[in-house]
Structure 1
Amino acid sequence: MADLLSTGVSGLLASQVGLSTVGHNISNVNTAGYTRQTTSFNARAPQYNGGMYIGQGADAVSVQRSYSQFLTQQVWSATSSQSRASQYATLTASVNNVVSGSANLQTALDGFFGAVSDLSNSPVDTASRQAMLGKASSLVATYRSLATQFQQIDQQTNQQITSAVADINSLAKSIADLNGQIQKAYAGGAEPNDLLDTRDQAIAKLSSIIGVSTTTNTDHMVTVTIGNGQPLVSATSSTQLGTATNQYDSSRLEITGPGGSVITSQVGSGSLGATIDFRTNVLDPARNQLGRSAVALTTAFNQQHAQGLDLNGDAGGNFFNIADPAVFNSTNNKGTGSITATFGDVGKLSANDYTVRFDGVNWSATNSQGVTTPMTGTGTAADPFVLDGMKLTVGAGAVAGDSFQIQPTRNAASAISVAVTDTNKIAASGPLSATKGAGNTGKAVLGNLTVTDVGNANFNTPVTIQFTSPTTYTINGGAPQAYADGDTITGNGWTLKLTGAPAANDSFSVKPAGSQSGDNGNALALASVNNKGVLDNGVTSVNKSYSQLISQVGTAGAQANTALDAQQSILDNANAAQQSLSGVNMDEEAANLLRFQQAYAASAQVINAANTIFDSLLSAVRG
């Protein structure tokens, strides 16, 4: 009965392995990344006896994972894409919250230009002037607040990049260590299921941070690459990534690979790729567009303010101050050259940044989209380069390969300030005033008096317009000129429009406005600056430029949320497919538990039967 006893023991041991595997599955039902394990059995080789083969029982030959490399890699890919979409949506929402938050620029713009309009009704009133300065300060504070919040988001992206790189390095080292352990375990002749699960889980976490490609080698170790084939894990070695400041802007972090090479542009997926893309495609354009609005406001308002007179009788100076475009030297520059940038034709100013390079003979420029942008001029102080609304003066000393980055508007909103602090310095009066003759009998009334050239040599010369008939007039007794109702009369750097028909001997005068005249001509012009075309070759107003920012960020947010919904669905489907094969099903495990319990008990009965027969034989011999 030795063979029967051995057969029973084999069944007992095989069932015990099956029970242990089921118990392991049940215990890990909630373990992330766990793959269901199954026990495989084989019948022992039979023994030839008495002209027949008699079975010798069974052995548990392996415990294997219910695993599909294809489905697992599908999950990794979907995880990377979903993580990217989630991070991108979260970061884009933070910018959306800034532009639509309590520091609403539209409200501040409306308040400021409302105060300017109020001043036009009472141009010499001190309270109205003080109110305008107060609203100007509030507007500047709003620009600066928005700029500060954008800067904080930029700093947070740096922190997220640093944290992500640290996590990548840690996971890469862990995967390399697991490679070594798995190789040793396979050398023992069995599949190390739990170590394989641990490695897969580490790769899944890594894929959520950065897009990866994996290859399983014949020695059961995996090779992990990122970006354009940059090795991250090879056998038991891992490459450590790093961070370094941008060669132009020290406030910006870049990702580096072996030897300090910058690989930021190679990171396209996972949460880290989303952070990089968000910074480039959402945050930077938003900051630039905000600064562009500040530059447009400053330029247009200052130009109009300069055409008026203040209460002291002086020509208006700058009402707002703003910084010139920022220029950054590359840390790789070998020469001593420099570039100085100022604003030129703001109507041509874009929301791009630029890289200007010297090849040893010529200078060239590319914008932040990598598109070559033409420059005119020679770069001297007398003939500066003209580049999209900027003037660039190049200093001597540059050598071939030197480059510079120009950020025209990135930090403009944080640098805007109110230049006027004295209410008397507000140039509300137009430089000229027009009056109607007291003895006029015709129906002509004054329309718009517009300044066209304040630098005209005879600009301040008083002028009398005398109608010699309803259809002819003279200026200061000069040659008669034809007139029809609605015509514009042109003087020395100004134009005057009348409405209605004049009578013979009617007169109108144009002369310099007095400092306390109460004229509101320039205040009216200042109030209209908000809706005056300034940017995009005179198409886009200050008011519209902010609306473009809101629309730009809102569109990016909507697209990000749509992408997140799509990627979440893809990930859910990938997980469902993988779990249908590899996940622990408690109903199935309960059935297996009962099956192995019964097999174990039955094997015990076989052993018991063998023992009973053996005892009977012994008893017969003793008898």
Structure 2
Amino acid sequence: MPMINNALSGALAAQVALSASSQNIANLQTKGYTRQSALLTAIGPGADPRGVGNGVQVSSLLRFSDGYKSQAMWRAASELGSYAQTQPYLSQLESVMGDKTASLSAGIDEFFGALNAVAGDPGSSPLYQQVLDSAGLMAERFNGLNNVFNAQLQSLRTQRSAIVDSANAQISAIARLNQQISQAQATGQNASIMIDARDQAIDELASKMALDVTDNADGTRDVALKTGQALVLGGLYGTLKAAPTATSAQEFTLTFANTTYVLDPAKLGGQLGGLGKYEAEKLLPLQNDIADIAQQLANKINTQLGLGYKQDGSAGTPLFVFTPGSNADMLKVSSGFLVKDLAFSGDGAPGDTGNLQKLVTIKSQPVTVGSIGSVLLSDADVQLVGKLGVDSQLNKASLKTSQTVRTQAVDDWQSTSGVNQDEEAVNLVEFQNMYQANMKVISVANQLFDATLAMMG
């Protein structure tokens, strides 16, 4: 009887719809899960002019996904990754360089303060020793800060290597899922769970680098860097590599289809791009700036001492040794330099402090610093710390904004693709009623069939 067939199709359709709702509810807290729903379509009567129809069928399982919202969420992940990775390094430098008791400015002030103290009491031997001690402490402050720079360089390069390894795992996973999704859709299977897994991999990859994602007709997705190099094409994928160079820097490459591309880490976006920009635009320039100050300070003091005379009347010798590069002892007191070697006399006469007076004025002389130009020696560190503070505050503001944008993007995605517990509860009741109503129709049809048989008997 058509009546039974119609009711049976309705009951079966209700079962599929109930299964979809139960799957949604089961994954209520599953990260990245996209809700599904049965799409019901009426079956026409065919060629029978008096037929009312042949029931209902589940024409497909809908996956509630909005490509635009997914793309927005991935873009937000890249922005957030960039600023989030940079801020800890900026905050550390801001704390170290801004410490009033350990800053370069405090060390420079102590050294020139010791020189001034000798000028006020040129016959005091302890004050001479204090000059030598403060010179060593000032040098150690430069070296200590240089060690912080070196530690940050090592940390961020290690961190980038780990990010590259993790990114390679996600790139290969996306390509593998592309193949599985394409095969499933070609055979009419439901690929929603695999698509969710692929979207999760893309989202995690997007936090590490900025991406361009393109959908293909066969269900696959191509993934490329914003700079244009392909990471995934269907089932094919590339491999990223971060390798140290002869200068201890890192070279980033992408190998795809037997072709290797050299990448600029500062242009990658995401976590890698943030770390790359921080190294190239903040950390290395700042390290060079501090080296500039140390070198010019050492040269000025050594030059002036060379124009003076020691206590025994001999010509002055260099107090400091500056070694270019990122070594741990960039600035140090000359080996074997003693108190008697301080050439404070301007004419060689005992007790004369003419050259000492000129040494004191070095603090007010200009030095040339790469990122801020010509400044007074006494102001150089202060200006660098101020510039660093501004950079840190700007990054914090950008980080806060990117966190808000990311949260909004996730919420927008959730509004379309996420599971709504109240909505699913309503669906359960509605499809349960649909199932029960169709079973009632089957029961009525059976009663009519039995009544017809009884009449014929």
TM-score scaled by length of structure 1: 0.69
Contact 1:123–1:428 (CA<8 Å) still a contact in 2? no
Question: Residue 341 of structure 2: which of 425, 433, 436 is its match?
Answer: 425
Aligned to 1:552: 387
Contact 1:209–1:271 (CA<8 Å) still a contact in 2? yes
Q: C-alpha displacement at 1:265, in angstroms?
A: 5.0
Cα-to-partner distance string for 1:235-288 (whole Å, 9 max, x where unaligned): 111111112223x51x11121122554212573311111110110001011101
- Counterpart-to-counterpart distance in 2, 1:320 and 1:299: 8
Aligned to 1:88: 86
1:164 paired to 2:163? yes
Contact 2:150–2:326 (CA<8 Å) still a contact in 1? no
1:606 paired to 2:437? no
Contact 1:288–1:411 (CA<8 Å) still a contact in 2? no
Q: C-alpha displacement at 1:59, in angstroms?
A: 1.3
Q: C-alpha displacement at 1:199, in angstroms?
A: 0.9
Contact 1:62–1:190 (CA<8 Å) still a contact in 2? no
1:290 paired to 2:205? no
1:62 paired to 2:60? yes
SS in 1 for 2:314: coil
After TM superposition, list the pairs within 5 Å mapping 1:498-509 onto structure 2. Answer: none
Query: Which AA in structure 2 matches 1:130?
Result: Q
SS in 2 for 1:123: coil
SS in 2 for 1:213: strand
SS in 2 for 1:45: coil
Aligned to 1:255: 252
Query: Which AA in structure 1 matches 2:42?
Result: A
1:281 paired to 2:287? no
Contact 2:266–2:272 (CA<8 Å) still a contact in 1? no
Contact 2:266–2:275 (CA<8 Å) still a contact in 1? no
Aligned to 2:272: 272
Q: C-alpha displacement at 1:45, in angstroms?
A: 2.5
- Counterpart-to-counterpart distance in 1, 2:62 and 2:88: 40
Contact 1:530–1:541 (CA<8 Å) still a contact in 2? yes
- The structure carrying a bigger strand percent of its residues is 1
Cα-to-partner distance string for 1:60-79 (whole Å, 9 max, x where unaligned): 22111111212211211122
Judged with a 3 Å threshold, the aligned counterparts in structure 2 of structure 1 residues 534 and 79 are, in CA distance, closer, same or farther, namely closer
Cα-to-partner distance string for 1:30-86 (whole Å, 9 max, x where unaligned): 22222221210011222666x622232211221111112122112111221222122
Q: C-alpha displacement at 1:321, in angstroms?
A: 0.6
Query: Which AA in structure 2 matches 1:240?
Result: T
Aligned to 1:141: 140
SS in 2 for 1:558: helix
- The structure carrying a bigger helix percent of its residues is 2
Q: C-alpha displacement at 1:620, in angstroms?
A: 4.6
Cα-to-partner distance string for 1:519-568 (whole Å, 9 max, x where unaligned): 22222222222222233699522222212221221121122122222323
Contact 2:266–2:276 (CA<8 Å) still a contact in 1? no
- Counterpart-to-counterpart distance in 1, 2:423 and 2:148: 54
- Counterpart-to-counterpart distance in 1, 2:218 and 2:157: 39
- Counterpart-to-counterpart distance in 1, 2:14 and 2:449: 24
Query: Which AA in structure 2 matches 1:87?
Result: Q
Judged with a 3 Å threshold, the aligned counterparts in structure 2 of structure 1 residues 48 and 411 are, in CA distance, closer, same or farther, namely closer
Contact 2:210–2:268 (CA<8 Å) still a contact in 1? yes
SS in 1 for 2:366: coil
Judged with a 3 Å threshold, the aligned counterparts in structure 2 of structure 1 residues 289 and 265 are, in CA distance, closer, same or farther, namely same
- Counterpart-to-counterpart distance in 1, 2:39 and 2:261: 50
Q: Which has the larger radius of gyration?
A: 1
Contact 2:241–2:252 (CA<8 Å) still a contact in 1? yes
Aligned to 1:529: 362
Contact 2:311–2:342 (CA<8 Å) still a contact in 1? yes
Aligned to 1:395: none
Aligned to 1:197: 196
Aligned to 2:220: 221
- Counterpart-to-counterpart distance in 2, 1:60 and 1:529: 87
Judged with a 3 Å threshold, the aligned counterparts in structure 2 of structure 1 residues 80 and 534 are, in CA distance, closer, same or farther, namely closer
After TM superposition, list the pairs within 5 Å mapping 1:119-518 onto structure 2. Answer: 119-246=118-245, 249=247, 251-258=248-255, 259-265=259-265, 267-323=267-323, 325=324, 411=326, 414-419=329-334, 421-430=337-346, 432=347, 513-514=348-349, 517-518=350-351
Judged with a 3 Å threshold, the aligned counterparts in structure 2 of structure 1 residues 535 and 429 are, in CA distance, closer, same or farther, namely same
- Counterpart-to-counterpart distance in 1, 2:310 and 2:226: 62
- Counterpart-to-counterpart distance in 1, 2:27 and 2:201: 17
SS in 1 for 2:51: strand
Runs (5+) with no aligned partner, structure 2: none
- Counterpart-to-counterpart distance in 2, 1:78 and 1:267: 16
Contact 2:225–2:268 (CA<8 Å) still a contact in 1? no
Aligned to 2:72: 74
Higher mean C-alpha deviation, range 277-286 or range 414-423: 414-423
SS in 2 for 1:60: strand
- Counterpart-to-counterpart distance in 2, 1:189 and 1:156: 49
Q: C-alpha displacement at 1:209, in angstroms?
A: 0.4
Q: C-alpha displacement at 1:312, in angstroms?
A: 1.9
TM-score scaled by length of structure 2: 0.92
Aligned to 2:2: 3
SS in 1 for 2:39: strand
Number of aligned residue pairs: give it. Answer: 450
Contact 1:67–1:582 (CA<8 Å) still a contact in 2? yes
Over aligned residue pairs, what C-alpha RMSD do you find?
2.2
Contact 2:292–2:369 (CA<8 Å) still a contact in 1? no
- Counterpart-to-counterpart distance in 1, 2:369 and 2:224: 45
Aligned to 2:423: 588
Judged with a 3 Å threshold, the aligned counterparts in structure 2 of structure 1 residues 227 and 54 are, in CA distance, closer, same or farther, namely closer
SS in 2 for 1:56: coil
Name the structure, 1 or 2, with higher relative contact order (CA <8 Å, separation 6+): 2
Identity %: 30
Aligned to 2:103: 104
Contact 1:112–1:139 (CA<8 Å) still a contact in 2? yes
- Counterpart-to-counterpart distance in 1, 2:43 and 2:161: 58
SS in 2 for 1:55: coil
- Counterpart-to-counterpart distance in 2, 1:414 and 1:268: 34
Query: Which AA in structure 2 matches 1:583?
Result: G
- Counterpart-to-counterpart distance in 1, 2:447 and 2:96: 85
Q: C-alpha displacement at 1:217, in angstroms?
A: 1.8
- Counterpart-to-counterpart distance in 2, 1:208 and 1:621: 75
